[in-house]
C-alpha cells in the first residue's frame, strides 16, 4: 500500500482506522445470557448503575435516604434517578451522558424523555439478540468477563454446566485470596479442599489446586484482582505470601497474566453500596517489585488514581512483562482518557491497551466505546501529524495495524509471549 502524501490524508486515515477497527474489550463484568440475572441489561439497570446512584445522593433532597432507596424496587430506583439526575438537573456527568448516548444509538427517542416508552422497547428484546446488537454497535469482537469462584451465585451457574458464548471469554477473579485469606480458606474448604486458615504449605497447595481446577473448568485468559492503594510488594505481609506461594505459581503454570487493578478504597461510604468506593494514590514500586522478582510471569496493570499514571508508564518501559491497560473507573472520563492516551503513546508507543469498558451493564459497552473512539482518533491524528511533520510517511495499512494494537491487538500479543 502506498504512503499517504500529505498531513491531512494521514490524519483522515487515523480517524477512519479508529472508527472502523474491531475492538477487544479486555475487562468487563458481563456474563453469558444463560447465566440468568447475573447478566445486567436494560434501561433500569443503566439508570441504577452505581455511578448514578452516587450522583443521585449529591442532588436529591434529604428526604430520600440511601436506606430507603435500597428497599425500593429497581424500577422505582430508576425513576428517582431519572427524575433528579436527568430531568431536574442536566445529565452532564459522563455516566449520565452515557445513558443518553446508549439510548440514542439504539434508535430510541431520548429527546422525548419518555422513560415508559423506552422501557416498553426493552421489554420486547430477547437478551441473546440484544447482546449481539450491543456488541455490533460497540464494534467488539469479544469481551473478557470477571468470573469469581468465591461467589456462590456464579459458582452455581458453572456447576450447572452453563457456558460462555463466542462473544465472551473468562478471567478468574481471586480477590478474596489476597485481601481476605481466612474467608477464602473457608470457601475453599467448603468446596472439598484440604485447606486451613493457617499459612503453611498444605494450605497453599490446596489453594493452588482450587485455582487450577477452576482454570481447567473455565479456561481463563488471565487471573485478576482489585487491590487497595496501601498494597505493597514486597512487604505486604500475608498478601505477599499468598502471591508468592499461590497466585504467582498458578499464573506461571497456566502461562497466563496476572491482572491487577490497584487503588480502590473500598466502601468509604457503605450506605451507597458499590457507589461507596473511592480512590487513593498507590505505590507503583509494588508493581515493579513483582515484575522484577517474577520476571517469567506476565502482569497486566491499571491504576485508579490519575496521579499514578506517569510512574506506571515509566515502569512499563522498564519491564517487558508489564502491560498497562485501560482508563479505569474514575479515570474513565474524556479529559483524563485523552491525557492518559497521549502520555502513554509518548512513553510506550503502541505497547499498551488504550481502554477497557469495565461494563457491569451490557448496554454500557455501547457508550463507553462510542465515547472513547473519538478521543483516541483525535490523539492519533495529532501524533501521526507530528510524525508527518518530522518526515515519516506512514501507510494506511500501518496506521490500521497500530490502531488494532491499541484496541486489543497488543494485549493478545502480550498474552502469547
Looking at the domain assignment, is residue 2 inside a domain? no
d(CA 85, CA 92): 9
Looking at the domain assignment, is residue 123 inside a domain? yes
d(CA 203, CA 194): 7
C-alpha cell at position 67: 436506606
d(CA 375, CA 333): 10
- Is the separation of the CB atoms in 258 and 222 below 8 Å? yes
Looking at the domain assignment, is residue 114 inside a domain? yes
What does the pLDDT read at residue 91?
A: 97
What does the pLDDT read at residue 236?
A: 74
What does the pLDDT read at residue 192?
A: 96
Instruction: Name the one residue in this structure whose C-alpha cell is 468506593.
Output: 277
Residue ranges making up the domain that contains 314: 7-416
Looking at the domain assignment, is residue 1 inside a domain? no
Looking at the domain assignment, is residue 159 inside a domain? yes
Provide the domain count of the chain: 1
DSSP tag of 172: E
Looking at the domain assignment, is residue 305 inside a domain? yes
What does the pLDDT read at residue 198?
A: 83
What does the pLDDT read at residue 1?
A: 55
Mean pLDDT by 10 residues, the chain (417 residues): 82 96 98 96 98 97 96 98 97 98 97 97 97 98 98 96 90 96 95 89 96 97 97 90 97 98 96 96 98 98 98 98 97 98 98 98 98 98 96 95 98 97
* CATH number of the domain that residue 94 is part of: 3.20.20.140
d(CA 93, CA 145): 26
What does the pLDDT read at residue 235?
A: 86
d(CA 46, CA 30): 13
What does the pLDDT read at residue 286?
A: 98
Looking at the domain assignment, is residue 243 inside a domain? yes
What does the pLDDT read at residue 303?
A: 98
C-alpha cell at position 243: 502471591
What does the pLDDT read at residue 66?
A: 97
Burial 316-354 (b: 16+ CB within 10 A, else e): beebebbbbbbbbbbbbbeebbbbbbbebbebbebbbbb
Amino acid at each position: 500500500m502506498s504512503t499517504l502524501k500529505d498531513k491531512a490524508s494521514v490524519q483522515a486515515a487515523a480517524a477512519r482506522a479508529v472508527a472502523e477497527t474491531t475492538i477487544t474489550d479486555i475487562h468487563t463484568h458481563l456474563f453469558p445470557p444463560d447465566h440468568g440475572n447475573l447478566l445486567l441489561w436494560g434501561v433500569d439497570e443503566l439508570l441504577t448503575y452505581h455511578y448514578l446512584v452516587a450522583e443521585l445522593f449529591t442532588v436529591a433532597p434529604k428526604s430520600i435516604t440511601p436506606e430507603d432507596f435500597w428497599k425500593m424496587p429497581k424500577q422505582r430506583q430508576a425513576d428517582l434517578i431519572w427524575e433528579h439526575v436527568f430531568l431536574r438537573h442536566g445529565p452532564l456527568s459522563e455516566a449520565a451522558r452515557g445513558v443518553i448516548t446508549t439510548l440514542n444509538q439504539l434508535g430510541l427517542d431520548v429527546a422525548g424523555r419518555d422513560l415508559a416508552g423506552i422501557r416498553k422497547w426493552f421489554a420486547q428484546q430477547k437478551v441473546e439478540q440484544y447482546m449481539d446488537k450491543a456488541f455490533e454497535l460497540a464494534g467488539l469482537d469479544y469481551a473478557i468477563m470477571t468470573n469469581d469462584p468465591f461467589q456462590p451465585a456464579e459458582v452455581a451457574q458453572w456447576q450447572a454446566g452453563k457456558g460462555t458464548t463466542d462473544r465472551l471469554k473468562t478471567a478468574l477473579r481471586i480477590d478474596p485470596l489476597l485481601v481476605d485469606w481466612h474467608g477464602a480458606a473457608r470457601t475453599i474448604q467448603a468446596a472439598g479442599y484440604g485447606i486451613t486458615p493457617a499459612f503453611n504449605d498444605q494450605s497453599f497447595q490446596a489453594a493452588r489446586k482450587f485455582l487450577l481446577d477452576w482454570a481447567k473448568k473455565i479456561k481463563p485468559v488471565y487471573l485478576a484482582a482489585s487491590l487497595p492503594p496501601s498494597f505493597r510488594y514486597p512487604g505486604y505481609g500475608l498478601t505477599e505470601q499468598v502471591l508468592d506461594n499461590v497466585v504467582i505459581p498458578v499464573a506461571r503454570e497456566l502461562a497466563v497474566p496476572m491482572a491487577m487493578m490497584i487503588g480502590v478504597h473500598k466502601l468509604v461510604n457503605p450506605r451507597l453500596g458499590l457507589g461507596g468506593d473511592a480512590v487513593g494514590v498507590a505505590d507503583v514500586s509494588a508493581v515493579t517489585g513483582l515484575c522484577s522478582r517474577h520476571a517469567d510471569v506476565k502482569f497486566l496493570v491499571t491504576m485508579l488514581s490519575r496521579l499514578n499514571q506517569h510512574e506506571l508508564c515509566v515502569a512499563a518501559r522498564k519491564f517487558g512483562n508489564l502491560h498497562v491497560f485501560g482508563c479505569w473507573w474514575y479515570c474513565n472520563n474524556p479529559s483524563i482518557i485523552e491525557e492518559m492516551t497521549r502520555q502513554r503513546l509518548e512513553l510506550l508507543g503502541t505497547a499498551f491497551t488504550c481502554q477497557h469498558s469495565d461494563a457491569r451493564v451490557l448496554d454500557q459497552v455501547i457508550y463507553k466505546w462510542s465515547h472513547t473512539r473519538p478521543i483516541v482518533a483525535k490523539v492519533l491524528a495529532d501524533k501521526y501529524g507530528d510524525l508527518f511533520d518530522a518526515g515519516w510517511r506512514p501507510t494506511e495499512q500501518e496506521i490500521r495495524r497500530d490502531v488494532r494494537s491499541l484496541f486489543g491487538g497488543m494485549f493478545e500479543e502480550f498474552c502469547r509471549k
